[in-house]
Amino acid sequence: MVNKIRKKLTEKQKEVLRILENFILEHGYSPTIRQLGRLLNIIHPSAVFKHVLSLEKKGYLERKRGELRLTGFPSLLESQVRVPLVGFVPAGQPKEVFDVSGEAVEVPEWMVGRRKGNIFCIHVDGKSMVDAYIDDRDRVLVERTSSASSGDMVVALLDDGSVTLKRLRIEDGNIFLAPENPEFEPIEVKELRVLGKVIGVLRKY
């Protein structure tokens, strides 16, 4: 396949590309022309398709098996997927909110599989999970889910609205969010509210 030269985009084309990328990151698949039109507030599908063709000609998109695909990445990244980078989550003392970054990261496709529209990435802030090989500033892949089993590593929402990354322990009906570092104490919760389960760790040495 011959690489296309990526030409400068108009402001409208930048908007179309940004909306396409955000949709794919959130859902794991591309929108239809009509869905894209609704997101762009463009009524006529032919007008939307005109923007798609322009982006394709400039080397930013390709149509394959009826789907729109973002292009222009090096061939070595073909086996990788992009997931949204949500920001920091504490592995130490609970923190009030995620720090939303608006960025995305490339991760190996095998780590995500068919769940790619349901995965996000977080930065870890703290050392309460070091014995589980999750250290301060690591990036952790999390699958969105509201359920988990005892022993799972989870991102949980606490009663006061803060969030934390811990190991879920359920013992005799009692619920604990346990650290993997003896310097930290477990957190006992009355009601478990899981935001996601950890599926992998990304680290650069």
HSE-up of 36 (CA within 13 Å, CB side)? 26
> Residue 52 in contact with residue 40, Cβ under 8 Å?
no
Residues designated catalytic: 128, 166
Cβ atoms within 10 Å of 150's Cβ, excluding its own = 11
